[in-house]
Structure 1
Amino acid sequence: MKLAIFDFNGTIFPKETMPFILNQWYKNKYSKYKLLKVFVPLIPLYLKYKMGLTSNLSKEEMEIEAVRGVSKIFTGMSKEEINNFFNRAVISAKKFFNKPVVMEITECKKKGYHTVLLSGAYKPFLREVGELLNIDTVIGSQFLYKDNCLNMISREGIISGSNKLDKLQSFFKEHKIDWENSKAYADSYHDLQLLKSVGKPVAVDPDFELEKVAKSNNWRIIHCN
Structure 2
Amino acid sequence: MRVAIFDFDGTLYAKETFQLMMNHLKNHPIHSRRYRKFYRAIMPPYIGHKLKIYPEAKMRARSVQAYLAALETFSKQELEEYFGEIAELMHDDFNHEVVERLKQHVSNEDYCMLVSGAFTPLLHAVTKELPIEKIIGTEVPYEADILAHRTPVIHIQGPLKTEKILEALGDQAIDWKNSYAYGDSLSDVPVLELVGNPVAVRPEPRLRTLASERNWEII
TM-score by length of 1: 0.90
Unaligned runs of 5+ in 2: none
Q: How far 1:54 moved relative to its partner?
A: 2.2
- Relative to structure 2, which stretch is displaced further, 17-26 or 159-168? 17-26
C-alpha spacing 1:36/1:193, structure 2 compared with 1 (3 Å): same
1:211 aligned to which of 208, 213, 216: 208
> How far, CA to CA, are the matches of 1:99 and 1:21 in structure 2?
22
> How far, CA to CA, are the matches of 1:84 and 1:75 in structure 2?
15
State whether residues 142 and 153 of structure 1, in contact with CA within 8 Å, keep that contact through their aligned partners in structure 2. Answer: no
Number of equivalent positions: 219
Q: How far 1:46 moved relative to its partner?
A: 4.1
C-alpha spacing 1:156/1:31, structure 2 compared with 1 (3 Å): closer
Provide the residue aligned with 1:83 in structure 2: 80
> How far, CA to CA, are the matches of 1:15 and 1:39 in structure 2?
21
Paired letter, 1:97: F
Q: How far 1:27 moved relative to its partner?
A: 3.9
C-alpha spacing 1:57/1:162, structure 2 compared with 1 (3 Å): farther
C-alpha spacing 1:156/1:39, structure 2 compared with 1 (3 Å): closer
Provide the residue aligned with 2:12 in structure 1: 12
1:161 has 2:158 as partner = yes
- Relative to structure 2, which stretch is displaced further, 31-40 or 154-163? 154-163
Q: How far 1:132 moved relative to its partner?
A: 2.6
> How far, CA to CA, are the matches of 2:77 and 2:139 in structure 1?
15
TM-score by length of 2: 0.92
Provide the residue aligned with 1:94 in structure 2: 91
Unaligned runs of 5+ in 1: none
Equivalent residue runs for 1:146-225 within 5 Å: 146-152=143-149, 155=152, 157-222=154-219
C-alpha spacing 1:207/1:48, structure 2 compared with 1 (3 Å): farther
Q: Compute the RMSD of aligned alpha carbons.
A: 1.8
1:61 has 2:58 as partner = yes
State whether residues 130 and 138 of structure 1, in contact with CA within 8 Å, keep that contact through their aligned partners in structure 2. Answer: no
> How far, CA to CA, are the matches of 2:75 and 2:136 in structure 1?
21
1:54-89 deviation line (CA, Å, top 9, x unaligned):
232222222222222212222221111111111121
C-alpha spacing 1:156/1:70, structure 2 compared with 1 (3 Å): closer
State whether residues 158 and 188 of structure 2, in contact with CA within 8 Å, keep that contact through their aligned partners in structure 1. Answer: yes
Provide the residue aligned with 1:133 in structure 2: 130
> How far, CA to CA, are the matches of 2:160 and 2:74 in structure 1?
28
State whether residues 143 and 153 of structure 1, in contact with CA within 8 Å, keep that contact through their aligned partners in structure 2. Answer: no
State whether residues 90 and 125 of structure 1, in contact with CA within 8 Å, keep that contact through their aligned partners in structure 2. Answer: yes
Q: How far 1:5 moved relative to its partner?
A: 0.6
Q: How far 1:33 moved relative to its partner?
A: 2.2
Q: How far 1:158 moved relative to its partner?
A: 1.5
2:104 aligned to which of 104, 107, 120: 107
C-alpha spacing 1:55/1:220, structure 2 compared with 1 (3 Å): same
For 1:115, what is the secondary structure of its paired residue? strand
> How far, CA to CA, are the matches of 2:149 and 2:67 in structure 1?
11
